[in-house]
Structure 1
């Protein structure tokens, strides 16, 4: 299953590239993150990156992703960042990069993946 991560800010492409580079540096996420751009419209030469796709599956990938996002979000920035995370089944969550804990991020990601099932 893939998670689609987009960023709601002015410098979206460079921020997504920064996040993709960060995730690619995480050994447990190697090969799981790829940038995605919409197909160019007629008359366009190409379009900017608009999302980061992260393949998550079984195991501890969600926990690793949550930990990595927590550290990346904690980096000093000039502005606040909002991530919109969508799973293939259509779940959506928004994460604001002001004050968020690893546990909060992991719980939100699991919810977006519909991985939490009642017992």
Structure 2
């Protein structure tokens, strides 16, 4: 699914319903269609299936980081609850997005830095 291994993982700790909502939102974005997949943790004893844990988004080249940042910003703006979304790379670099007053341009810069500079780790408030 990912192009050249360029995949970002999105987490919303403790908010599986919100993560499902975000997955639906991203899958309907033309620029991200076919690039979003759910990653479920294995079921624990007594569960019928595993819980949704992470969204994986293939971001290849061509400004996909900006498309993702704009979609995230719009989705966050429509939420009425406090959320914290963690965007991470396979090697563990992260950007945390606080839903209060997210700046789409700053978020796009942070995501592009995650994708293009392996030494950068950010924290977006």
Find the counterpart in structure 1 of residue 73 from structure 2.
70
Find the counterpart in structure 1 of residue 7 from structure 2.
2
Gaps of 5+ in 2: 1-5, 119-125
Find the counterpart in structure 2 of residue 101 from structure 1.
103
- Structure 1 stretch 35-44 or stretch 92-101: which is displaced more? 35-44
CA distances 1:15-71 after superposition (whole Å, capped 9, x unpaired): 011001111111010001111111224564322101111111111111111111111
What is the rounded CA distance, in whole Å, between the counterparts of 2:45 and 2:79 in structure 1? 39
Gaps of 5+ in 1: none
TM-score by length of 2: 0.82
Q: Aligned pair 1:25/2:28, yes or no?
A: yes
- Secondary structure of the corresponding residue to residue 80 of structure 1: coil
- Secondary structure of the corresponding residue to residue 86 of structure 2: strand
TM-score by length of 1: 0.86
What is the rounded CA distance, in whole Å, between the counterparts of 1:72 and 1:44 in structure 2? 30
RMSD: 1.6
What is the rounded CA distance, in whole Å, between the counterparts of 2:46 and 2:100 in structure 1? 39
How many residue pairs match? The answer is 113
